[in-house]
Amino acid sequence: MAANIASPTQPTLDTALTLALAIASKAAYNYYSGDPITPPDGYTQADGWTGWDAFLDTGSEEKYGLVFQSQTDPGTFIFAFRGTDSDLDGWEDAHFFTTDFEPSRGSISPIPRVASGFYGIYDSMGGGMAQSMRQQLFSLLGKYKPQQLYVTGHSLGAALSQLFSLDLAISQPAASTNINFASPMVGTDSWQTAYGATIATGNSIRIYNYWDYVPTLPPDAFGYGTVGEGFVTSFYVKGEWFPHELSRHSIVNLTTVLSNALPLNPQQWVGGFPDYVDPKRTMKSTLPPATAPVRWVEKIGQHMAFEHSLRAAAA
């Protein structure tokens, strides 16, 4: 039986912290691409880690994440994971067939079943790697000994961040919070049960755009479900019928919406802004629809009807 996407709850988000984590998630992309890295305000880049990206019978070691240390509280750290460089490329090699999640230490019941592609990046190594991503992360914990740890990531990075958060909670319990962005679903009902029983409510929040396809993947037939509390935004390309999924999924566009919404009460924003993906387009932020989340891959007809209504309204 397929697991369900939980109806969204709207926790109150800390504005400065949430935006710092979004900026850290974007910086992790820059780390991968070799572009200049902008740390969140009040933080310094301290370290990084890699992962093994397998493709068929080959693969490569790639930069996957950054460590940031607070300038005012040296015991506070951010571990930020990147997503795939072209946003949706990663779903082709994510392999949504499931595998057992095994913590670095200890055990958990039920044994979570998670996406083999996500888990492979987290646990595998190849080439000249001395440690897997998982081993590097725990080595970094030993090196810096954080007193407060914030774990974050966008897209694929959000999925990896949740694997690490559960592993950390079981293997080396510490004061940590996971706030992630635009995450696909990581595992099935056993994953939901294990994650919910191990990580306290409020210590894991997934922030997403209602009109983004990625948080509703994999398709329903695979039986995946969400974890953590949900905070939903709502934005899309104004007056356009074409889906523009990259614009709906962009961490920069999501950060723009959050920077305007979070200082408000309630934390939702209605307004427009230039599209980061294509500045010639205008993004429109609205109140989220008063409906439960849907799996867009099963609701494409509804989605296209909405897109056509936008085109008609703009005519």
Look at residue 310 and tell me if it is in a domain: no
Q: Is the pTM of this model over 0.95?
A: no
Q: Are 250 and 273 in contact (CB under 8 A)?
A: no
- pLDDT, residue 9, reads 60
Owning domain of residue 48: 15-233
Look at residue 238 and tell me if it is in a domain: no
**CATH code for the domain of 187:** 3.40.50.1820
- pLDDT, residue 163, reads 98
Distance of CA 210 to the CA centre of its chain: 14
Look at residue 33 and tell me if it is in a domain: yes
E strands present in 74-192: 76-81, 98-100, 113-115, 148-153, 176-181
Q: Are 180 and 205 in contact (CB under 8 A)?
A: yes
Mean pLDDT, consecutive 10-residue segments, the chain of 315 residues? Answer: 51 97 97 95 98 75 96 97 62 70 94 94 91 97 97 96 97 91 95 95 94 86 91 93 85 98 96 97 93 67 67 67
- pLDDT, residue 89, reads 41
Look at residue 300 and tell me if it is in a domain: no
Cα–Cα nearest to 156, from 188, 132, 121: 121
Residue 269 amino acid letter: W
Look at residue 312 and tell me if it is in a domain: no
Q: Are 29 and 223 in contact (CB under 8 A)?
A: no
Total domain count for the chain? 1
Look at residue 287 and tell me if it is in a domain: no
Look at residue 181 and tell me if it is in a domain: yes
Residue 224's CB: how many other CB atoms inside 10 A?
A: 28
Look at residue 242 and tell me if it is in a domain: no
Residues facing residue 49 across a β-bridge:
65
Run of H or E residues at 17 = helix 15-33
